[in-house]
Amino acid sequence: MSSLPLTGITVVSCEHAVAAPFATRQLADLGARVIKVERPGRGDFARDYDETVRGLSSHFVWLNRSKESIALDLKQPHGKEVMRRLVAEADVFVQNLGPGAAERLGLGSAELRARHPRLITCSISGYGSSGPYRDAKAYDLLIQAEAGLVSVTGSADAPAKSGIPAADIGAGMYAFSGILSALYEREKTGAGTSLEISLFDSLVEWMGYPLYYAAYGGTPPARTGTSHAAIAPYGTFAAKDGTEIVLAVQNEREWRSFCEQVLERPELTADARFVTGSRRVTNRGELESEIAAVLGHITGDELEQRLAAGNIAHARQREVREVIEHPQLVSRNRLTTVDSPMGKLTAILPAITVPGRKPRMDPIPAVGEHTSAIVKELGFGADIQQLTRTQAGF
């Protein structure tokens, strides 16, 4: 079996919460060795978000497989010395510490790059390294609010945050792709680089469509639940047995087919209220009433058969618990297991598939599980090994 693309790359990460761990887990999935530096004792505070996965945090289980955990007190001389040697051996250093914390610990990008020109550093922050919000608290919900995502999410009656940590995930993915580009550049130039990623910048980029819509249209996109501010019919509709189906009729060909094949009311294509996309949006309430009158007499299975016959884009609106048994996941063998301090857990394979190469699904580490082995590997004697074991609570 061939090695994965990032085999041989070592990543050292002072990380916690979601954004940085999400980025480094993608690197680990592709074969990189990721050494996660945690605080002695409880470690990454995301370990304590909940206890739903057999006593483990659902966030931590999601974000931290295939990593090695070393517990270090970076304010103590021995911790600093271990960290110094770790970084000297690394290809990539990632951190999402609080504003200015990396610099105070001697782990600022400028200082590290001066000592290690081939090192790639990636700093993830809430709002960036400058500006009036530099030192502001930057939890995911707060970033969603400041970037306007909350204002365009939810129903007409009330805004809502996204159901997943969108700002954290966005920043993590930009960090991941930025690190990949820096590794590629280093292959050509021999030099590393410094990367800065902020949750705010990442989410503002994702807000491109509503920002342009508001700036040039004069008003922001309306909050429409699962519907769409500029397309109709679009959103969730219920069949008579309660099955919820999401429709996405996005062009005139589909609209004609929808009327003929699904509603069995071809005359609606000539109805002045619905004759164009913009008129269907303007008369959304009347349109949805016409659709509901038909769907209220057919089952979910019948509706899906008609939608398939008409080649209409659609999906089932599934509950989260249904997704783990989704037929697409099951048929493609996308489910596997991963080891953890609490035994084997169900896991989804990495989204990036490298044909012919076995996906990496190494265990989720306990706090400081690899401290002794890593310290010994770095060439330290028994004295500092004992100090790190004491600090890690072993």
* pLDDT, tens only, 146-163: 999 999 999 989 999 999
State the pLDDT at residue 356. 92
Q: Residue 251 pLDDT > 90, yes or no? A: yes
**Mean pLDDT computed over every residue of the chain:** 94
* pLDDT, tens only, 94-109: 999 999 999 999 999 9
Q: Judge whether 250 and 231 are in contact, CB under 8 Å.
A: yes
Q: Sketch the domain layout of the chain as residue ranges.
A: 10-207+333-391, 234-316
* pLDDT, tens only, 32-80: 999 999 999 999 999 999 999 999 999 999 999 999 999 999 999 999 9
State the pLDDT at residue 394. 37
Per the omega criterion (within 30 degrees of 0), is the bond before 233 cis? yes
State the pLDDT at residue 382. 66
Q: Does domain 10-207+333-391 have CATH number 3.40.50.10540?
A: yes
Average pLDDT over residues 118-135: 97
Q: Residue 244 pLDDT > 90, yes or no? A: yes
Cα atoms in the Cβ-side hemisphere of radius 13 Å centred on 56: 23
Average pLDDT over residues 294-304: 95
Q: Does domain 234-316 have CATH number 3.30.590.10?
A: no
Q: Residue 393 pLDDT > 60, yes or no? A: no
Residues labelled as active-site residues: 228
